[in-house]
Structure formats: C-alpha cells, structure tokens
Amino acid sequence: MVFLHVDGETRLATGYVDDFLPEALQFRPHVPLVDIGANLTHESFERDLEAVFQRAQAAQVTTMIVTGTDLAHAEQAVALAKQYPGLYATAGVHPHDASHWDCHLERAMATLHAMPEVVAVGECGLDFNRNFSTPKEQEHAFEAQLALAVESGLPLFIHERDAGQRMREILHAWRNDISQAVVHCFTADRDTLFGYLDLDLHIGLTGWICDERRGHHLRPLVSEIPLERLMVETDCPYLLPRNLPAKLKGRRHEPALLPWIVREIAHWQGISETELANATTQTAQRFFRLPTETLKE
Ligand SMILES: [Zn+2]
C-alpha cells in the first residue's frame, strides 16, 4: 500500500487508489462524508479492516461512527476508535438484547459513556418486529439508557422498528431532558416521520432507500426531511444498496459504498450530491460534536 502522511494522519496516496478499487468504489463526492452507523466490529470485517479503512478514505468517507450494540461490541468499538483516526464509537444495548439489561450493564455503559471516543448512547430503542426481547424488557432497557443519556449529556442513537407510536410516546416524555437523538435507519411511514420531526429529532437514512422493492415508500418522504436534521449511514455490513453496478451485487456492504446512498438520497431531495454531502456532514459534525479537523479533505 502507498501512504501519504498528512496532518499527522495516515492517508492513502491518491492516484494509486483507482488501480485497485472496483469501479463502484470510484464514485466519490467532492466533500468528506460521515458514516453515522457502521457495524465495523462485525465478524465479517475481522480480516480486512485496514483495507476497509483505505477504501473508505479513498471514497471520502473520512469519519465513521462505529455502532456499539452490546457491552462486548461497544468495548470493541471504543478500542477501534482509540486505534484509528476518524473513528468514533457509540455504546448501548440493542433492543434485541434488552433482556440482558441489569445494574452491572448499566454501570459498564456509564463508564463507556465517559470516554472521549464515545459520541452517543446507543444503539438502543424498540424493535417490535422481531421481539427477541419482550416489549416490556425493551422499554425498560431503553428508558434506563435514556436516563444514561441525560446523565452524560450525550446524544442518542436510536433503533426503532414497528414501534413508532410507543417510541414517540416515550421520547415525548423524555424530550426536555435529553439533548439530541437520531432515529437511525429510518424506514417507517409519513406519520411516524412527522412525529419524529415534531419532537425535534434527527433522521438517519441508509441504503434501504436504494431498494426498489421495500424502499419505495421512503422516496417521496426524503424531501420532507430538513437537511439540518438528516444524516447518512451504511449500517454495514447489512443493507447493501441495490443501486450498485451489477458486478458488485452480493458483496459485503462497507463504508466506502456510502457515496452510492448519498447519490440516491440527493436525487430524491432534488439537490446535488455535493450539496447533500456538505449538509449531512455538517449536521453529523454538530450532532456528534466531532472535531472539525477530522472532516478536512
Ligand atoms: Zn438498528
């Protein structure tokens, strides 16, 4: 690999990149991007994480928020964020694992939230689609994490599926006490979206929007989301965008593919890719209180 040392950070030498990146990875926006939801502690990234970071850099994805979905993964996310520039972590317990919530976990999470690498409480929330934990357990763990967000002052990274109404009720009760919250991977309907926007929440959009089968209903909603409330994410390795060139279908999703999601969202917002990249990066920077120098090209 060929590296350049710029501002004390290791960056990939441009010019070399095009030789080894597949065609689909060569679509780059002109401004740096923030992937606000990357599951880089997933086992599928174990072998080639360095290469994943190099491709992300080459695709202008300069900042990644690594999602921490339980204690082990949150600790791994923090370890990655300590090791690599441009990486940050969230720390929380996913609604699927809510049945594991106890006072030990609560203390461990509070410790993580005090670390400088941790920029949000989560992923936490409600998932009534699969109910791997009971709704009651999910609500208990979620409210405990809302309390931790109040305590730490950190924003929230929220997962919600088929639980829009209950989510809005709970957040309504907590809204004055929490700072900010993003509903990540938003896939719900118009009423739910407007309910979240009325609560002054942020919205995270993934490659779901690129899926002509199940992302259809989202497309007319995209332009209803104010740019200062919108952020973009891969949710990789899940949700590979379906607007990729045919030869890349079936591969693993990774941060370097974020520009393809930006392209689709910009289309439905009716603005240029550069405008959307600029706006979502600024929004993410404000929301997660990221140092501005990480976003330099
Ligand atoms: Zn999620």
CA of 160 to the centre of ligand 1 (A): 7
CA of 232 to the centre of ligand 1 (A): 13
CA of 3 to the centre of ligand 1 (A): 34
Does residue 13 lie within any of the structural domains? no
CA of 185 to the centre of ligand 1 (A): 6
CA of 7 to the centre of ligand 1 (A): 34
CA of 140 to the centre of ligand 1 (A): 18
**Cβ neighbours of 295 (radius 10 Å):** 18
CA distance linking residue 191 with residue 81, whole number of Å: 36
CA distance linking residue 245 with residue 24, whole number of Å: 6
CA of 4 to the centre of ligand 1 (A): 35
How many residues in total does the chain contain? Answer: 297
Does residue 43 lie within any of the structural domains? yes
CA distance linking residue 204 with residue 86, whole number of Å: 19
As for how many domains the chain has, the answer is 1
Residue 247 belongs to a domain with what CATH number?
A: 3.20.20.140
Ligand 1 being an ion, which residues bring their Cβ within 5 A of it? 159
CA of 17 to the centre of ligand 1 (A): 31
Contact criterion met (CB below 8 Å) for 202 and 158? no
* H helices present in 94-248, as ranges: 103-113, 135-152, 164-174, 190-198, 219-222
Contact criterion met (CB below 8 Å) for 273 and 33? no
Task: State the pLDDT at residue 249.
Answer: 66
* Residue whose C-alpha is closest to residue 98's, from 138, 143, 154: 138
CA of 9 to the centre of ligand 1 (A): 31
CA distance linking residue 222 with residue 145, whole number of Å: 29
CA of 194 to the centre of ligand 1 (A): 20
Query: With b meaning 16 or more CB within 10 Å and e meaning fewer, what string describes 76-99?
Result: bbbebbeebbbbbbbbbbbbbbbb
pLDDT in tens, the chain (297 residues): 333 333 333 334 343 344 455 655 566 777 999 999 999 999 999 999 999 999 999 899 999 999 999 999 999 999 999 999 999 999 999 999 999 999 999 999 999 999 999 999 999 999 999 999 999 999 999 999 999 999 999 999 999 999 999 999 999 999 999 999 999 999 999 999 999 999 999 999 999 888 878 888 899 999 999 999 999 999 999 988 888 877 666 678 999 999 999 999 999 999 999 999 999 999 999 999 998 765 544
Longest dimension (CA), the chain: 54
Tokens of 200: 């002054």
Does residue 224 lie within any of the structural domains? yes
Contact criterion met (CB below 8 Å) for 45 and 52? yes
Q: What is the DSSP string of 29-97?
A: -SS-EEEEEE-TTSGGGTTTHHHHHHHHHHTTEEEEEE---SHHHHHHHHHHHHHSTTEEEEE---GGG
CA of 39 to the centre of ligand 1 (A): 10
Does residue 185 lie within any of the structural domains? yes
* Residue whose C-alpha is closest to residue 130's, from 94, 106, 101, 105: 94
How many helices (H) and strands (E) are present in the chain, helices listed first?
10, 10
CA of 177 to the centre of ligand 1 (A): 23
Regarding pTM above 0.85, the answer is: yes
CA of 248 to the centre of ligand 1 (A): 24
Does residue 14 lie within any of the structural domains? no
CA of 2 to the centre of ligand 1 (A): 35
Alpha-carbon separation of residue 46 from 39, 62, 124, 202 (angstroms): 11, 20, 24, 31
Does residue 245 lie within any of the structural domains? yes
Does residue 11 lie within any of the structural domains? no
Tokens of 290: 């990221």
CA of 159 to the centre of ligand 1 (A): 4
CA of 130 to the centre of ligand 1 (A): 12
Tokens of 211: 């899926």
Does residue 212 lie within any of the structural domains? yes
Contact criterion met (CB below 8 Å) for 164 and 188? yes
CA of 115 to the centre of ligand 1 (A): 22
Expressed as residue numbers, the domain containing 77 is 22-295
Residue 215: φ, ψ to 5°? -95, 5
CA of 173 to the centre of ligand 1 (A): 22
- C-alpha gyration radius of the chain: 18
